[in-house]
Amino acid sequence: MKHYTLIGHPLGHSMSPFIHQRLFAMAGKEAEYTLTEISPEELNGKEEFLRSQNGFNITIPHKMAVISMVDEMDESALRYTSVNCVDNKNGKLIGYNTDCDGFTMSVKDYPMDGKVLQIGCGGVGRMIATEAIRSGADLTIGIIPPDKEMVEQFIAEIQDNYPGAKIRYLLNEELQGKFDVIINTSPVGMFPHMDACPVSDALIAQADYFFDVIYNPTKTLMLRKAEALGKTVCGGAAMLVLQAVRAHEIWDGDTYTKEQVDSIIQEMEAEMERHNTKV
């Protein structure tokens, strides 16, 4: 039997075992997927254990620290200096970033080459903004005042790496007008603060496509408001499942139909709702 794990600290209630076990079952594979809590000071001492795994995933705070352990970096990991998936190929550890795949696969039917508004610019926000620019987006990033210096530095890096990139930032209270796509990468609206919305009703009314990285709740207030107006919406559960699908493609060459992936997203959302009722 093959062995896989997720490392991070703290892990808390992770949906990763649920998702990966369903993917292994759908592929007809016998494999174990566990959670391994590792504090930052313990990471270097766990290399032998990690090399004993057939593959592993990485979450906060180890996505950069684990780079020193891998033998080779895929282009996706080099692009973000961040590794969230490692494949053990006959003793050689190869680092990947499948978060970006999870996002791009989630919005593959969105007009990402149009006018895009992104709220927030943290770690996942910088990755999503980069993928939006790579797709040809005319990108506006909405921020809070404390993030001004950080986002200015990020935009300078984007313009260095992607000459001609259309990118700017505004404070959230300054945002107005029509956008084709609105993306929330901030924690606004996350459980248990589900009555918060990162954008105004006026912005929601004028946009057509919405994506929220938050997967708990499965539909944030922003998505519920947009859906009530007949807009196209997608929550973070899709991104989480699709980055896991990409990991299975890397580890074992497994492929899945859209129907299979959609069924896991629905199961995950139902599991998340059950968990919330117990909290």
Residues whose CB falls within 8 Å of the CB of residue 240, separated by 6 or more in sequence, listed in order: 15, 19, 102, 215, 268
Q: State the Cα–Cα distance between residues 135 and 207, nearest whole angstrom.
A: 18
Residue 95 φ/ψ, nearest 5 degrees: -95, 140
Cα 83 from chain centroid?
Answer: 12
Sheet containing 92-96: which strands, arranged edge to edge?
A: 31-37, 2-8, 55-58, 85-89, 92-96, 72-73
108 in active site:
no
Residues whose CB falls within 8 Å of the CB of residue 153, separated by 6 or more in sequence, listed in order: none
Q: State the Cα–Cα distance between residues 181 and 76, nearest whole angstrom.
A: 24
Q: State the Cα–Cα distance between residues 155 and 168, nearest whole angstrom.
A: 7
Are 249 and 255 in contact by the 8 Å Cβ rule? The answer is yes
Are 106 and 265 in contact by the 8 Å Cβ rule? The answer is no
Catalytic residue among 2, 29, 46, 63: 63
Q: What string of DSSP letters covers 50-61?
A: HHTSSEEEE-TT
Residues acting as catalytic residues: 63
